[in-house]
A and B are shown apart, each in its own frame.
With several copies, the nearest count.
Chain A
Amino acid sequence: MSILVGNDTRLLVQGITGREGSFHATQMVEYGTNVVAGVTPGKKGETVAGVPVFDTVEEAVRKTNPNTSIIYVPARFAPDAIYEAVDNGIELVICITEGVPVNDMVPVYHLVKQKGARLIGPNCPGLITPGEAKVGIMPGFIHEPGKVGLVSRSGTLTYEVVDALTKAGLGQSTAVGIGGDPVIGTSFVDVLELFQNDPDTEAIVMIGVIGGDDEETAATFIKEHVTKPMAGFIAGRTAPPGKRMGHAGAIISGGSGSAEEKIAALEAAGVRVADSPSKVPGLLRQAMNA
């Protein structure tokens, strides 16, 4: 077991013939992910890495029955692609695309909820259940199957921590990059709840960045609902207030959303917060042995 993706995943790739889409579709197929179809309007009949391409999600769903979709289309088409996926009954949609206007995501977020589907992202690296399914853009080889669930708002920082975990002998059940935008489909709390309920996840790592208050909300949830050992890291302690640090979400404004506040909240909830990504595995082991 694991969460969200695994051997049962039947993946659809939206935007599969684009530069990003075709590259990552190939990578995912090579990793062993069960990629059943791709969609690019007008490219029906082509194949990418052996995967058949369709004009519409409707046809792809009818012919190949995917349960998960990953989106690599340009930002201005991404909301439409998400609507297309969930309107056609896809239960789990991962939107890799970055640069999607925030106001576009507001109705998308609520429609996805209303349909009973789940969206991860946008502007995220995707997620991976090592050894079963890679649904994203992360380098697969740094991951090892194991018992640590990882959830992160950052991309490369996640790889950094995963790499450290793997090197420390701590494999992962599932690693989820939820994305750094102000409006994302799946929050820390959503993933923490899944890990808490997943029998194959024994410990949890959470990686946050400055801006917003998702980490604080997560801390409240952890205090009340998470019993598994946890370690974490928050990036951006040295970031100056009011400036956007790459992520649209990573702005500290009005004294809220600072790394200090997030770290304090998480520590108060029993999470061991490292001052460097390299120290996460050690703190997690401490928590697991405590």
Chain B
Amino acid sequence: MDVHEYQAAELLAKHGVPVNPGRVASTPDEAAAAASELGGTVAIKAQVHSGGRGKAGGIKLAHNPEEAKAAAEAILGMDIRGHTVNKVLVAKGADIVREFYLGVVLDRPNRKVLIMASAEGGVDIEEVARTTPEKIVRINADPALGFHSYQAKELGFALGLRADKVHGFAKIAEHLYTAFIKEDATLVEVNPLILTGAGEWLALDSKMSFDDNALYRHKDIEGLRDMAEENETELDARSSGISFVKLDGDIGCIVNGAGLAMATMDAVKLSGGEPANFLDVGGGASASQVAKAFSLVTSDPNVRAILINIFGGITRGDVVADGIREALSQVDVKVPIVVRLSGTNAEEGKKILAEAGLMAVDTMDEAAEQVVSAASGQAA
């Protein structure tokens, strides 16, 4: 789960990170008021769950409340990579002397938490990682004992910081690590972390993402969810235990298992079609689950045919077939349906489907070809 910059900054401030003061505004007038309250130059920053805000014109400087109002007017409502800007952060202008990058992520290959820093802050860190990886310093926290103070200092010295700046930097690195662990984050990032003219450290832009699987123990973070940023259909699916991702094609897919669902999409593509979605009904595949899947898929007007691909494992083929039959009696599906049923009790399942007027095929490749044909208007 992602949160906005201002929310991340508030969370990090709780963990002791010095963040730049700011106010959130939903209207140009609020932005002007915030600018006047903060005084001096402010930055008006689009709050969207997307990178590339700067390039898209989503960050503007304003030297007075009037300019702040104008900037907010320009930014609010803007579309940034498919995300509509509903809020801006009005942040106090900072006296930037040097910009750093500081982030905490999971290091998958090492199965450890990684703390990364770079003296090349304020720019796209993935670009730095690609082009000049030696400019990023990486230290793994101890998996049982955590991120030691000496490691945080090591990070600071490795960046070439002067000794009198290492202590403050190391403290911030330790706070970011603590925030990562305590809040069950999957990413904590400050970019840029700046040194001001007064020699102070300041987190100018904060980013946090959270592990959905751990939200049960972080009700406060769950409460930060911005529904405007979420795909309603995907949320709806999740509440039924279904993984759903909307895509641009016209072949609706209903599959059990994430890997098989991806393989099914690949098969559709290989047969010349374009999948309309990724959909994993999960293990159960009960009638209500299948009905829900149908309604998710058919809610997309682009869908011209549906492919159901079930490999009966623990889920028995006859149960799934029953589910499909019942679901079809509840949901009015107007496009052709191709069913592929294999594995446990597949034969019994096919019999049930035949009685319901649906033909089932044996292989995924065959099913993909048929559904692509069906979508292009030919006989299923």
Whether A110 contacts B262 by the Cβ 8 Å rule is: no
Q: Does B112 contact A (CB under 8 A)?
A: yes
Most buried by A among B109, B216, B258: B258
Stretch at the interface among A30-38, A99-107, A223-231: A99-107
Given A106-B113, A156-B259, A156-B260, A56–B150 Cβ distance below 8 Å? yes
From B145, B262, B313, B342, give the contact of A210 (CB < 8 A): B262
Q: Using a CB-CB cutoff of 8 Å, which residues 235-280 of chain A contact chain B?
A: 235-240, 243-250, 254-255, 259, 275-278
Given A137-B313, A154-B260, A160–B278 Cβ distance below 8 Å? no
CA distance A248 to B259 in the complex (A): 12
Q: Does A287 contact B (CB under 8 A)?
A: no
Whether B259 contacts A209 by the Cβ 8 Å rule is: yes
Whether B260 contacts A41 by the Cβ 8 Å rule is: no
The smallest C-beta distance from A125 to any residue of chain B, in angstroms, reads 8
The smallest C-beta distance from A138 to any residue of chain B, in angstroms, reads 6
Q: Which residues of A contact B111 (CB under 8 A)?
A: 105-106, 109-110, 183
Give the bracket for the number of chain A residues in contact with chain B: 35 or more
Q: Which residues of B contact A125 (CB under 8 A)?
A: 313
CB-based nearest B residue for A233: B263
Contact with A along B132-174 (1 / 0, CB 8 A): 0000000000111100111001100100000110100000000
Q: Which residues of B contact A183 (CB under 8 A)?
A: 106, 108, 111
Contact with B along A200-239 (1 / 0, CB 8 A): 0000000101101110010000000000000001011111
Stretch at the interface among A3-11, A73-81, A168-176, A190-198: A73-81
Whether B108 contacts A111 by the Cβ 8 Å rule is: no
CA distance A182 to B213 in the complex (A): 12
Q: Using a CB-CB cutoff of 8 Å, which residues 238-269 of chain B contact chain A?
A: 243, 245, 247, 255-263, 265-269
Whether A111 contacts B150 by the Cβ 8 Å rule is: no
Given A139-B313, A245-B278, A278-B365, A106–B163 Cβ distance below 8 Å? no
The smallest C-beta distance from B275 to any residue of chain A, in angstroms, reads 6
From B154, B260, B266, B343, give the contact of A56 (CB < 8 A): B154
Whether B144 contacts A101 by the Cβ 8 Å rule is: no
Whether B270 contacts A244 by the Cβ 8 Å rule is: no
Contact with A along B93-135 (1 / 0, CB 8 A): 0000000000000101101110000000000001001100000
Whether B166 contacts A41 by the Cβ 8 Å rule is: yes
CA distance A181 to B62 in the complex (A): 45
Whether B163 contacts A102 by the Cβ 8 Å rule is: no
Q: Which residues of B contact A138 (CB under 8 A)?
A: 313
Q: Does B379 contact A (CB under 8 A)?
A: no
From B109, B144, B217, B243, give the contact of A111 (CB < 8 A): B144
CA distance A180 to B243 in the complex (A): 14
Q: Which residues of A contact B342 (CB under 8 A)?
A: 160, 163
Q: Does B181 contact A (CB under 8 A)?
A: yes
Q: Does A72 contact B (CB under 8 A)?
A: no
Q: Which residues of A contact B186 (CB under 8 A)?
A: 102
Q: Does A157 contact B (CB under 8 A)?
A: yes
Whether A245 contacts B262 by the Cβ 8 Å rule is: yes
Q: Using a CB-CB cutoff of 8 Å, which residues 133-173 of chain A contact chain B?
A: 137-139, 141-142, 152-160, 163
Most buried by A among B149, B153, B255, B311: B311
Q: Does A87 contact B (CB under 8 A)?
A: yes
Given A42-B163, A163-B311, A238-B275, A99–B259 Cβ distance below 8 Å? no
The smallest C-beta distance from B108 to any residue of chain A, in angstroms, reads 5
CA distance A41 to B275 in the complex (A): 46
CA distance A233 to B342 in the complex (A): 19
From A80, A157, A158, give the contact of B148 (CB < 8 A): A80
Q: Which residues of B contact A278 (CB under 8 A)?
A: 363-365
Whether B260 contacts A99 by the Cβ 8 Å rule is: no
CA distance A102 to B41 in the complex (A): 41
Q: Does B205 contact A (CB under 8 A)?
A: no
Q: Does B348 contact A (CB under 8 A)?
A: no
CA distance A107 to B157 in the complex (A): 26
Q: Does A58 contact B (CB under 8 A)?
A: yes
The smallest C-beta distance from A106 to any residue of chain B, in angstroms, reads 5
Given A106-B113, A111-B145, A156-B311, A250–B258 Cβ distance below 8 Å? yes
CB-based nearest B residue for A250: B258
The smallest C-beta distance from A235 to any residue of chain B, in angstroms, reads 4
Whether B108 contacts A207 by the Cβ 8 Å rule is: no
Whether B213 contacts A75 by the Cβ 8 Å rule is: yes
Whether B278 contacts A42 by the Cβ 8 Å rule is: no
CA distance A141 to B343 in the complex (A): 9
CA distance A206 to B230 in the complex (A): 35
CB-based nearest B residue for A99: B213
Q: Which residues of B contact A238 (CB under 8 A)?
A: 247, 262, 265-266, 268-269, 275
Q: Which residues of B contact A209 (CB under 8 A)?
A: 258-259, 262
Q: Which residues of A contact B108 (CB under 8 A)?
A: 182-183, 212-214, 249
Q: Which residues of B contact A235 (CB under 8 A)?
A: 259-260, 262-263, 266
Whether B213 contacts A41 by the Cβ 8 Å rule is: no
Q: Which residues of B contact A159 (CB under 8 A)?
A: 311, 313, 343
From B259, B266, B270, give the contact of A247 (CB < 8 A): B259
Whether B150 contacts A154 by the Cβ 8 Å rule is: no
Q: Does B318 contact A (CB under 8 A)?
A: no
Q: Which residues of B contact A44 (CB under 8 A)?
A: 157, 163
Whether A276 contacts B270 by the Cβ 8 Å rule is: yes
Q: Does B314 contact A (CB under 8 A)?
A: yes
12 A-B pairs with C-beta separation under 8 A: A55-B163, A56-B150, A84-B150, A100-B213, A101-B211, A107-B145, A110-B111, A139-B314, A157-B263, A160-B263, A182-B106, A254-B129
Known: A157-B257, A163-B343. 9 other contacts (CB 8 A): A55-B163, A99-B213, A105-B111, A109-B143, A159-B343, A180-B259, A214-B109, A248-B213, A276-B270
Q: Which 4 A-B pairs have the closest CB atoms?
A: A154-B259, A246-B258, A156-B257, A42-B163
